Structure 1
Amino acid sequence: MSESPKSSRSLAGIAGIVAIATLISKVFGLVRQVAIAAAFGTKAAYGAYQYSSIIPGFFLILLGGINGPFHSAMVSALAKRDKAESAPLVETVSTLVGGVLVVITLALMALAPQCIDLIAPGLHQTAHGLEIREIAIQQLRIMAPIVWFAGMIGIGFGTLNAADLYWLPSVSPLLSSVTIIAGVGALALTLGPKIGEPEYAALGGIVLAWAALIGTILQWLVQVWAQHKAGLSRLRLGFDFKHPGVKDVMNVMAPALFASGMLQINVYTDMFFTSFLPNPGAAVSALDYANLLVQTPLGILSNVILVPFLPVFSRLADPRDWPELKMRIRQGLLLTAIAMLPMSALIITLANPIVRVVYERGEFQQSDSDLVAVVLMAYAIGMFVYLGRDVLVRVFYALGDGDTPFRISIVSIFLNALFDFILIKPLGLPGLVLATVSVNVISMIALLWFLDRKLNGLPLKEWALPLVGLAIASVFAGLASWGTLLASEHFLGTNGLLILIGQLSLSALTGLGVFALIASRLKLPEVDMFVGRIRQRFVK
């Protein structure tokens, strides 16, 4: 009995460490993106980087990320073993995995042209596309070793977390952002205004690639030092392949790798189709710039909404508790709507000033802002279904059903490719984003339908009424925000960073005020719950 409070405080402390470290990493990630935008805009160097980094980035996210397959497998295997067993097991798993990743790394370096052609076959169509292809091939050869380091980082992440060491591994990803910022800064100081000229595109691409590789190496070295200091591992090979822990690691790692890998296929699909657009470098860069602006609020608000519900869903998995579970599902969906629907409305109406404030400086010009703003508006349309789908997926996991979301994900991959093919011609780049939004809508409807059957009926009509009310409130919020923006532009113009920030702040506050006024009249308990969580998380 006496240990329970201690465990609770320990979990809260761990969550706090990870949350702070993640926030710091996101801030540095945004600064990195601003530096890249100022240096390269949507020109060839960064467009090529987007194509060349998809494979190394895939491995870095898949293998090296927190809660990734390697991280989960190592935590699972080491948490139930004595510290004395840790070093031999870590060394053996590192040797086994490292050997496979060395082969993949060498293959990427040797087959870089073929890999880029597979990722972006449309680059052959224009001279500009061929230039991007050549830069991307060089970048991929430089960044190929990231594949090996990604695996080692994932193993190190899990090893340190299993030993209750969280701060250093959680904050270490910002090293990649720091090295890219430093590399881009050094290039800008060296070339000055000439940094955006076409003849320096290849040099800029090479600097980006080396900075990304060096940042990954530094992240790995920090973890190696931490492991060595904690007595968890040494830099030597291990060949005890019959160790029972190796089997435990592989049993967790294999299915997790497959499931996580499916999520990255949609990214590749969009990349594939951007290569057929008239300016593929600008298109793929715009996707990345806009995606960051959407994922930042999504990531912060998802922690506020989703994390507290996960244990609640799990505790209500028994059929006797299903009435309360249904109530909690409603709460999860309505909290998502309260957060995401007005956010979508504001981003749609304020997309251009948002992009201009964040990115427009240096080589990132007004034409780049216009392109990214259109893509950002398309992303914003799907914010509610993106997070709402995650709420429903967590319910299935709590009920012990991972198969249904997995099957829906497989179907979604094919639908995404089909919708990309259908929408890219009439709508261009925004069509690729709207294809993903459409697939998320279909996925959410499918999840609701299967959940309705699994839980013997959901009060969907009852849930629909407050959702419609919140949607209407968001529309009025967007209109109020838009009207305020137009009025301020009429009197103050649109030039100057301080003017843009002032217009953006005033318009956003007006829109949020209108939404809050209408939402409060709906008498929804979830509105009070959302305000309470925001205060608890951000107000001391």
Structure 2
Amino acid sequence: MNLVKSTGTIGGLTMVSRIAGFAREMLMSRILGAGIYTDAFYVAFRLPNTFRRLFGEGAFSAGFVPLYSQRLQSGGEADAKRFSEEVLAVFLPTLILFTLGFEIIMPLFIWAITGWHGEQLAFGTFLTRITFPYLLLISLVSLFSGILNSISRFTAAAFAPALLNLAMLVALVLVREGGEISATAVAAAVTIGGVLQLGLLMAACKRAGIVLKIRKPKLTPGVRQFIRVVVPATLGAGVYQVSVFIDTFFLTRIGTGAVSWFNYADRLNQLPLGVIGAAIGTAILPQVSRHVDIGEHAEAARVQGQAADLAMLLCLPAALALAASAHPLVSAIFQGGRFTERDAYFTGLTLSIVALGLPAYVLVKVLTPGFYARRDTATPVKTALAVLAVNIALNFALIPPFGIGGLAAAVALSSWLNCAILYVILHRRGHFRVEKWLMSRLIRQLAAGLAMVLVLVLIRQGLTGWFKGSVGERLVGTVALVGGGMAVYFPLVWVLGGTDKEELRTLLRRRRPQKDAG
């Protein structure tokens, strides 16, 4: 399987979701602004998403995909399907009990992470109780996505997040009053979006000839093996998600609007992260797992090296462009209605700092499959614990003098520390190292990226005022920044030899959808 082709399929469809997400955030910024109702919604949205990353995308995929691929190769489709049903039989009731338990203790938990009281606590609890069933739904989506990704059918899983964004977008279009009413409508749309995603993935599995039956929960040997792998991964993901709760804890204490500023900035930051990082991480895990299982360790390392090259080719310019153009981009996209110039300033400040950690976060997506493919989920746990301790210390040190900028810096620095530790461990074990060819390409990519930054600064200065002007002026300013950056970076990285030219042609060439991508 071609890594560039797989990444392009996943990344292209993820882009559809991100565009819908941008439209959603643009409407939300104007309808809800960055006040107490928006803060309450983002806390309600963040909670199930945090546990989704804990139970679903991170830990579950890390444990399920390699084991499913292993059974697919050794025992065929029947054995892999039986393993999936056994896991589902235990996974589903666990999710149901967890969801019900959290619905009961929700007021206490929201108070613990936000410090809210009175009406704000009541409204935040109300919204979170509406959104929390999304956890159950999206965790099941992760199971079906893992099955489809293991058989190289990436389309449905990559497109599914667009349904969530579309559901929320429809809610905002239909309910424009603002305040409690709009926030409640968008919260309800989160759970509706989860239902739509699950329906799409189940239908895609059915088209692939995979229909899972509900079995009686039983700790079979396959389930025990899955638990042995997934529990350390869950602990590792849990450490990271604790840092998310810690960030929320500090954000709510920085002041009203801080939660919203961070989330609006994260929306822009998540565009390259989702399109590049998630796509590459999803594409390489099955490939690395297959090579490791048959003893082709050099090939596994080659796949990771190729992924790192492709990731930085796309991520370095995105990170540098976001850091250099944060303020005009935020003003052009979000400012208006209830989203004030002050909101735009603090959102832009947050984005300009957080974006500097983007390359590290994407590289972590490339490095962790090197552990998961070898059934080693304990090492990332230890790494995550060390990074969590540093992140907490940085929050305490940087937030008092720098406010939300200090929190953003803590996030970026922690990402780089996590990346560095994981790489050093893989290097010492002989599993992966940055070869000379890769280092040479990375240096050339960085040189092209810095040249692009100079051009972006000139564009910013030449179009001062356009980013806060009419819709047409904002559109021209945004297109000038994005188009100008690409027009400089990609030709320059081509001339400097910062990438495999054939791979870049494949990435940029329009391709018909693959028949087996369903």
Of 477, 484, 488, 1:503 maps to: 477
- Distance in 2, matches of 1:418 and 1:446, equals 18
1:14-42 CA-to-partner distances (Å, cap 9, x unmatched) read 77664554333333333332332232121
Q: In the alignment, is residue 537 of structure 1 matched against residue 517 of structure 2?
A: no
Of 380, 400, 405, 2:355 maps to: 380
**Partner amino acid for 1:139?**
L
- Distance in 2, matches of 1:13 and 1:475, equals 28
Q: For residue 397 of structure 1, report the CA deviation from its aligned partner.
A: 6.0
Q: For residue 466 of structure 1, report the CA deviation from its aligned partner.
A: 8.0
Of 165, 171, 178, 1:183 maps to: 171
Asked whether the 8 Å contact 1:77–1:245 carries over to 2, the reply is: no
Of 446, 453, 458, 1:483 maps to: 458
Q: In the alignment, is residue 203 of structure 1 matched against residue 191 of structure 2?
A: no
Q: For residue 355 of structure 1, report the CA deviation from its aligned partner.
A: 1.5
- Distance in 2, matches of 1:468 and 1:275, equals 40
**Partner amino acid for 1:172?**
A
- Distance in 2, matches of 1:293 and 1:214, equals 24
- Distance in 2, matches of 1:46 and 1:400, equals 41
Of 104, 108, 117, 2:102 maps to: 108
Asked whether the 8 Å contact 1:108–1:140 carries over to 2, the reply is: no
Asked whether the 8 Å contact 1:69–1:260 carries over to 2, the reply is: no
Structure 1 segment 59-70 matched on structure 2, within 5 A: 59-65=51-57, 68=61
1:265-284 CA-to-partner distances (Å, cap 9, x unmatched) read 222221111111121xx111
Structure 1 segment 76-475 matched on structure 2, within 5 A: 79=72, 93-121=87-115, 123-124=116-117, 130-158=118-146, 167-188=155-176, 191=177, 195=178, 201-223=179-201, 230=209, 232-233=211-212, 238-239=215-216, 241=218, 243-279=220-256, 282-302=257-277, 338-394=313-369, 403-450=378-425, 453-455=428-430, 471=446, 474-475=449-450
**Residue correspondences, number:** 506
**Partner amino acid for 1:276?**
R
- Distance in 2, matches of 1:459 and 1:160, equals 31
Asked whether the 8 Å contact 1:74–1:162 carries over to 2, the reply is: no
1:153-192 CA-to-partner distances (Å, cap 9, x unmatched) read 334444566788654454333322222112222111xx3x
- Distance in 2, matches of 1:96 and 1:228, equals 21
Q: For residue 341 of structure 1, report the CA deviation from its aligned partner.
A: 4.0
Q: For residue 415 of structure 1, report the CA deviation from its aligned partner.
A: 0.7
1:51-98 CA-to-partner distances (Å, cap 9, x unmatched) read 223332223334444873585388458746677778887666445333
Asked whether the 8 Å contact 1:51–1:119 carries over to 2, the reply is: no
The alpha-carbon distance between structure 1 residues 496 and 413, as it changes in their structure 2 partners (threshold 3 A), is: same
- Distance in 2, matches of 1:31 and 1:294, equals 15
Q: For residue 413 of structure 1, report the CA deviation from its aligned partner.
A: 0.9
Name the structure 2 match of 1:29.
Answer: 21
Asked whether the 8 Å contact 2:278–2:365 carries over to 1, the reply is: no
- Distance in 2, matches of 1:474 and 1:245, equals 47
RMSD over aligned Cα, in angstroms?
4.4
Asked whether the 8 Å contact 1:97–1:151 carries over to 2, the reply is: no
Asked whether the 8 Å contact 1:28–1:178 carries over to 2, the reply is: yes
The alpha-carbon distance between structure 1 residues 245 and 13, as it changes in their structure 2 partners (threshold 3 A), is: farther
Name the structure 1 match of 2:513.
Answer: none
**Partner amino acid for 1:352?**
H
**TM-score, normalization by structure 1:** 0.77
- Distance in 2, matches of 1:113 and 1:136, equals 8
Question: What are structure 1's unaligned runs of at least 5 residues?
Answer: 1-7, 125-129, 196-200
**Partner amino acid for 1:443?**
N
- Distance in 2, matches of 1:398 and 1:99, equals 27
The alpha-carbon distance between structure 1 residues 73 and 312, as it changes in their structure 2 partners (threshold 3 A), is: closer
Asked whether the 8 Å contact 2:10–2:279 carries over to 1, the reply is: no
The alpha-carbon distance between structure 1 residues 505 and 120, as it changes in their structure 2 partners (threshold 3 A), is: same
- Distance in 2, matches of 1:295 and 1:379, equals 10
Asked whether the 8 Å contact 1:45–1:205 carries over to 2, the reply is: yes
**Partner amino acid for 2:471?**
L
Q: In the alignment, is residue 72 of structure 1 matched against residue 65 of structure 2?
A: yes
- Distance in 1, matches of 2:443 and 2:154, equals 42
- Distance in 2, matches of 1:110 and 1:316, equals 44
Q: For residue 396 of structure 1, report the CA deviation from its aligned partner.
A: 5.8
- Distance in 1, matches of 2:28 and 2:456, equals 30
**Partner amino acid for 1:351?**
A
- Distance in 1, matches of 2:293 and 2:206, equals 42
Name the structure 2 match of 1:5.
Answer: none
The alpha-carbon distance between structure 1 residues 131 and 377, as it changes in their structure 2 partners (threshold 3 A), is: farther
Q: For residue 256 of structure 1, report the CA deviation from its aligned partner.
A: 3.5
**TM-score, normalization by structure 2:** 0.80
Asked whether the 8 Å contact 1:341–1:471 carries over to 2, the reply is: yes
Name the structure 2 match of 1:198.
Answer: none
Query: Which has more radius of gyration?
Result: 1
Secondary structure in 1 aligned to 2:469?
Answer: coil
Name the structure 1 match of 2:514.
Answer: none
**Partner amino acid for 1:440?**
S
The alpha-carbon distance between structure 1 residues 425 and 143, as it changes in their structure 2 partners (threshold 3 A), is: same
Q: For residue 479 of structure 1, report the CA deviation from its aligned partner.
A: 3.3
1:370-426 CA-to-partner distances (Å, cap 9, x unmatched) read 221111101122233333444454556678865544422220011111111111111
Q: For residue 241 of structure 1, report the CA deviation from its aligned partner.
A: 1.9
1:473-493 CA-to-partner distances (Å, cap 9, x unmatched) read 644532332233212327x68
Determine which structure has greater relative contact order: mean sequence separation of CA pairs < 8 Å that are 6+ residues apart, divided by chain length.
2
